[in-house]
């Protein structure tokens, strides 16, 4: 297949480069498997030279089957398209390594060839390939509609143009309609988890709104069904801000309204906020205006339940002050946190109200001020940003995320304290923000974050919410110090660290199914029976879980291969709407919806999950569990667990992360695991 020639003679250049590519493909195809790597450099260079030419993407697409059969992807994850993850494609295309960019681009063109029916792949059907590409385009939509930035041009040179030409070709072949539909679906999937940090979703919605209004971009008449709800939740939520007039104009319109008009605005904003989990800057301005009106209208604007209304009326002075200090158009998202905080009823816990008054009057340390200003800007000030962050965390304890940082233990602790012990969380915030020091105790001995060594994170986390931004670095150092104090003890240090780090409610009996010294699985039958007896209602006397419990899972990829250890919290174990027993848990990794392979797909909506929860059927969850805590005085009935249930779970383990960790006649781990993060 040869591209159409143009008057500038570019096809002639392309023809020459395609001829060289065909020769490189043939050379690799004729080489035996053990020697194919010797032909890889020539083939990658030929691919790069073709892809840099106009029409090059189409030329590579036409040779996708030949490239695959020649062995280009041999020995890499790209060799198995069924395990590839759309969310990881962007990182490959933005890699500083030109070879990685070429491999990723060629893989996408192979997907396109499969989707278009150019050839039939043995493990990946055409419809799956089309869906994969739609998701890739949706997640990297800026590559479709924006030119490379100056920094991109300087750092990546012609490769930046290569990637955009690739995306233009993919979109023209797949169609813009499906791209926007998948993008909208992805935004809704994330928002249903109700994260505290929604900047990425807001940015995508803003860009889509801009693209839709651009006459030079045709997105298709039916594309993005459901995007209107998202756009209006930010920019045109009610009649007074329908055309996105700006805050000053909106304020003048509010001043001209009677009570009926204000109530119409209030209910419209509240409905959109609770529908999407997003808050318009106009909503924040409305709340500030309503401070001089009535608490009834404030309650309407927040969409409060009876519990929330009672809290507002009982602690009206405090709520008014929180709005004055923390709620601004720039911190609008904290309106949702305030509404959920009131609906939780935690103001009725005696220490919470005085703790919030203390927070409002807190003098921040210079370090805290600098960090908050550096990350979030100078308007509003750092005090307002921090109080807004406190409202979000207290209202959305399951919306805490660890960002792109190895600090899942600290994020889990913040979530657990907000969920279970909010005044303790507020004390942590005071120490970190005022004193630039957090003091905890380990087995009666004090540990100061100021005196502790390095934490798990090698760099200072920056991509976090305001509370996490200040508190996590301190918790990370303390967590690491607790681990160092257990270094000489036999077994896993989390036996001692978890209860001391998280609080008294973390049960003291500890179960682990991995031998830390060898990495082998141990005592699987006993481990799984005890997990049933501690958490499954059928074997623990139907005892519901009282407090969230720290646990550790072995995360696997979509091919069920071991990825790493991860810290989570078990929240509850109950039947779902289909009467399937499920474990509902908190995962701090920003997006809980993951495919862990072998049919183990983590659900975040549709199976009885509350906002922020992830869930799996009990057996599937147990198959990825490697650490849990129990009350030593509550033994349950492990002997009643059917052997076939245990065997089924062990089957999941053998087919995934445990397949090379099984002792006693089977393959063992080649290396012992690193210190598990649970």
Q: 186 φ, ψ to 5°? A: -65, -40
* Least confident segment among 2-11, 40-49, 250-259, 333-342: 2-11
**pLDDT confidence of residue 670:** 32
**pLDDT confidence of residue 526:** 95
| Three-state secondary structure of 356-389 | HHHHHCCCCCHHHHHHHHHHHCCCCCHHHHHHHH
386: its two tokens: 């921090």
CB-based burial label for 38 (10 Å; 0-12, 13-18, 19+): exposed
Q: At residue 148, does pLDDT exceed 80?
A: no
Contacts of residues 78-83 at CB distance under 8 Å and 24 or more positions apart, as own/partner, are: 78/103, 78/104, 78/107, 80/123, 80/559, 81/107, 81/110, 81/111, 81/114, 81/121, 81/123, 81/124, 81/129, 81/132, 82/123, 82/124, 82/128, 82/558, 82/559, 83/557, 83/558, 83/559, 83/597
pLDDT band (50, 70, 90) for residue 662: confident
pLDDT band (50, 70, 90) for residue 552: very high
pLDDT digits (tens, 9 = 90+) for 385-424: 999 999 999 999 999 998 878 888 999 999 999 999 999 9
Q: What is the C-alpha to C-alpha distance for residues 161 and 165, in angstroms, rounded to an integer?
A: 6
**What residues pair up with 440 in beta bridges, in sequence order?**
447
Helix pair angle (382-395, 366-376), 10° resolution: 80
Q: What is the C-alpha to C-alpha distance for residues 150 and 322, in angstroms, rounded to an integer?
A: 42
Q: Is the dihedral of CA 237, 241, 246, 252 positive or negative?
A: negative
In the predicted model, what is the mean pLDDT of the chain?
89
Element (H, E) at 230: helix 227-234
**pLDDT confidence of residue 669:** 28
Q: Is 614 helix (H, G, I), strand (E, B) or coil?
A: strand
pLDDT band (50, 70, 90) for residue 359: very high
Average pLDDT score over residue span 493-507: 94
Closest by CA position to 190, among listed 181, 180, 179, 202: 202
Q: What is the C-alpha to C-alpha distance for residues 468 and 390, in angstroms, rounded to an integer?
A: 10
Average pLDDT score over residue span 138-163: 69
CB-based burial label for 642 (10 Å; 0-12, 13-18, 19+): exposed
CB-based burial label for 122 (10 Å; 0-12, 13-18, 19+): exposed
**pLDDT confidence of residue 391:** 98
pLDDT band (50, 70, 90) for residue 260: very high
Q: At residue 3, does pLDDT exceed 90?
A: no
**pLDDT confidence of residue 1:** 46
- Locus of tokens 């307002």: 384
Q: Is 402 helix (H, G, I), strand (E, B) or coil?
A: coil
């Amino acid at each position: 297949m040869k591209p159409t020639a143009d008057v500038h003679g570019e096809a002639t250049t392309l023809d020459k480069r395609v001829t060289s590519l065909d020769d490189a493909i043939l050379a690799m195809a004729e080489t035996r498997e053990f020697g194919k790597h010797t032909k890889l450099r020539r083939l990658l260079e030929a691919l790069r030279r073709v892809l840099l030419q106009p029409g090059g993407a189409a030329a590579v697409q036409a040779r996708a089957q030949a490239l695959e059969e020649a062995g280009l992807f041999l020995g890499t994850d790209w060799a198995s398209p069924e395990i590839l993850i759309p969310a990881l494609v962007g990182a490959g295309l933005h890699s500083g390594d030109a070879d990685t960019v070429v491999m990723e681009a060629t893989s996408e063109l192979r997907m396109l060839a499969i989707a278009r029916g150019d050839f039939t792949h043995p493990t990946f059907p055409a419809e799956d390939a089309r869906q994969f590409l739609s998701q890739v385009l949706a997640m990297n939509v800026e590559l479709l509609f924006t030119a490379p930035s100056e920094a991109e041009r300087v750092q990546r040179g012609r490769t930046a143009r290569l990637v955009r030409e690739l995306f233009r070709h993919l979109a023209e072949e797949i169609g813009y309609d499906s791209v926007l539909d998948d993008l909208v679906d992805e935004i809704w999937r994330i928002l249903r988890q109700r994260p505290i940090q929604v900047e990425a979703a807001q940015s995508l919605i803003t860009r889509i709104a801009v693209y839709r209004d651009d006459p030079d971009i045709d997105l298709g008449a039916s594309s993005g069904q459901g995007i209107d709800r998202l756009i209006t939740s930010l920019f045109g939520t009610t009649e007074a801000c329908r055309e996105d007039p700006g805050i000053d104009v909106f304020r003048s319109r509010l001043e001209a309204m009677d009570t009926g008009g204000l109530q119409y605005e209030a209910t419209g904003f509240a409905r959109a906020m609770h529908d999407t989990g997003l808050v318009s800057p106009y909503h924040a301005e409305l709340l500030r205006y309503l401070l001089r009106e009535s608490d009834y209208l404030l309650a309407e604007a927040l969409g409060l339940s009876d519990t929330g209304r009672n809290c507002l009326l009982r602690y009206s002075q405090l709520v008014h002050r929180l709005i004055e200090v923390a709620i601004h158009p720039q911190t609008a998202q904290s309106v949702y946190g305030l509404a959920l905080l009131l609906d939780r009823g935690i103001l009725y816990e005696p220490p919470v109200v005085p703790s919030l008054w203390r927070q409002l009057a807190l003098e921040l340390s210079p370090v805290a001020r600098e960090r908050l200003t550096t990350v979030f800007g100078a308007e509003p000030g750092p005090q307002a940003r921090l109080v807004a962050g406190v409202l979000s965390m207290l209202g959305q304890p399951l919306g805490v995320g660890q960002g792109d940082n190895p600090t899942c233990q600290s994020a889990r602790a913040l979530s657990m304290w907000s969920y279970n012990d909010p005044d303790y969380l507020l004390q942590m915030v005071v120490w970190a923000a005022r004193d630039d020091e957090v003091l905890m105790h380990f087995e009666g001995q004090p540990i100061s974050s100021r005196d502790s060594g390095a934490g798990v994170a090698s760099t200072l986390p920056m991509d976090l919410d305001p509370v996490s931004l200040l508190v996590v670095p301190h918790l990370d150092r303390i967590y690491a110090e607790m681990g160092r104090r257990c270094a000489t003890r036999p077994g896993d240090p989390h036996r001692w660290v978890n209860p001391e780090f998280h609080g008294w409610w973390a049960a003291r009996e500890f179960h682990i199914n991995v031998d830390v010294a060898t990495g082998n699985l141990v005592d699987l039958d006993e481990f799984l029976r005890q997990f049933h007896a501690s958490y499954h209602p059928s074997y623990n006397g139907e005892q519901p879980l009282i407090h969230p419990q720290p646990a550790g899972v072995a995360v696997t990829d979509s091919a069920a291969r071991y990825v790493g250890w991860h810290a989570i919290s078990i929240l509850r174990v109950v039947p779902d709407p289909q009467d399937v027993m499920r474990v509902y848990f908190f995962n701090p990794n920003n997006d809980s919806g993951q495919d862990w392979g072998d049919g183990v797909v983590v659900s975040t909506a549709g199976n009885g999950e509350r906002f922020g929860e992830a869930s799996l059927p009990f057996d599937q969850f147990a198959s990825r569990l490697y650490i849990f805590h129990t009350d030593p005085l509550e033994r349950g009935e492990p002997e009643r667990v059917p052997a076939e249930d245990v065997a089924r779970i062990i089957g999941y383990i053998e087919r995934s992360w445990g397949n090379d960790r099984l002792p006693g006649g089977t393959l063992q781990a080649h290396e012992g695991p690193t210190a598990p993060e649970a």
